[in-house]
Amino acid sequence: MLRFKINGKDYEVAAANHRKVVDLIRYDLGLTGTKEACGVGVCGVCSILLNGRLVSSCIMLACQVDGAEITTIEGIAAPDGELTPLQRSFIDCGGFQCGICTPGQIIAATALLAETPSPTEEQIKEWMMGNLCRCTGYYQIVDAIQSAAEQVA
């Protein structure tokens, strides 16, 4: 039995040790906000926070999350649905189009702002280069992160 928390909620599940965390989250627990694309840990689409650290859930195994606290995109907004400044900025700045990479982008940017509340443009690019987006050319994602950082600062 694996025990862990996702978005503050306790889970106790039976899963094979080699079950990928992204599959555990999406298909065993039904939290489909986390997406999967490359399957090899390079595109950032499946990003989650594991004990506050940014990780790719497509290359993590279920046994690695025993006892952990996980945050997925479903746990970013307040329980009443109020968006974080970052989520709001992604909407206002046009930081997504199709939206498939957006959960991962927001998770990654949330981790960035937790570590560096007022990042420079260069720091944003350095941090976010692990999150591919095929729609936006990234410009409006950078705008969104800068805008959110300014609002919180």
Encode burial over 105-131: b for 16+ CB neighbours within 10 A, e otherwise.
bbbbbbbbbeeeeebeeeebeebbeeb
Under rule CB under 8 A, residue 47 binds other proteins: no
Least Å from the CB of residue 38 to other proteins = 4
Least Å from the CB of residue 121 to other proteins = 10
One residue of 63, 129, 150, 152 binding other proteins per CB under 8 A = 129
Under rule CB under 8 A, residue 35 binds other proteins: yes
Residues 13 and 75: their CA atoms lie apart, in Å, by 19
Which residues in 83-112 contact other proteins (CB under 8 A)? 83, 87, 90-94, 96-103, 106
- Judge contact between 58 and 36, C-beta under 8 A: yes
Under rule CB under 8 A, residue 6 binds other proteins: no
Least Å from the CB of residue 35 to other proteins = 7
**Which single residue is written with the structure tokens 């995109």?**
73
One residue of 38, 64, 69, 146 binding other proteins per CB under 8 A = 38
Under rule CB under 8 A, residue 74 binds other proteins: yes
Q: Can you list the pairs that 83-86 forms with residues at least 24 positions away whose Cβ atoms lie under 8 Å?
A: 84/110, 84/148, 85/148, 85/151, 85/152, 86/110, 86/113, 86/144, 86/145, 86/148
Residues found near other proteins in the complex (CB under 8 A): 23, 26-27, 30-40, 42-43, 45, 72-74, 76-77, 81, 83, 87, 90-94, 96-103, 106, 124-126, 128-142
